[in-house]
Structure 1
């Protein structure tokens, strides 16, 4: 396994674990006080979780990385948009913004690692 594929595997697993933790914290935030930002947090976390799962699977077969690049970039943009929604509707709440930002960062890490694997595959 190439170093780029290893980074994709690790970032995918990290995104998977952190995405699960963010989903749980989003649900806890929703239970404590239902707000639109809590739904944004849960949606962004689910997207980050799915990107992490796909990234960890694609790392096993690096030649599939070009097919993951589009969905991964789209999921990162969607997570960023949901985080922007958190910021816009937070009304002074910090927790939804932090959890949403964490979900965005892990989705971005998977996208960057996917890009590196795609470049290494296309170079060969």
Structure 2
């Protein structure tokens, strides 16, 4: 093994920042691809309307949508924090990405709010 002289801790900090940036960019792309795909459940078919999908979904599907909406809420909260933690030069690029993803999350929520409400209501009635 060859030892290279360097700044030790500074190099480690720099690597940590680089890994964090790469992981953040990967996760942002993952969220966007998932939102673009629509998180289709097994019963959804391309060309189905939101009404026909909502009517044909089983209770399990509705519960899955409610769970996804909960996860999207967490992702939305993370996106809120993400913009605050960036430097000025990165912030402007990040704001555009964050705004676009938040709009997609909102659109998904609006498309599935009825299914989520039914699932949550049924869960509350079981307790």
TM-score by length of 1: 0.50
Q: TM-score w.r.t. structure 2 length?
A: 0.49
Please state which structure has a larger fraction of its residues in helix: 1
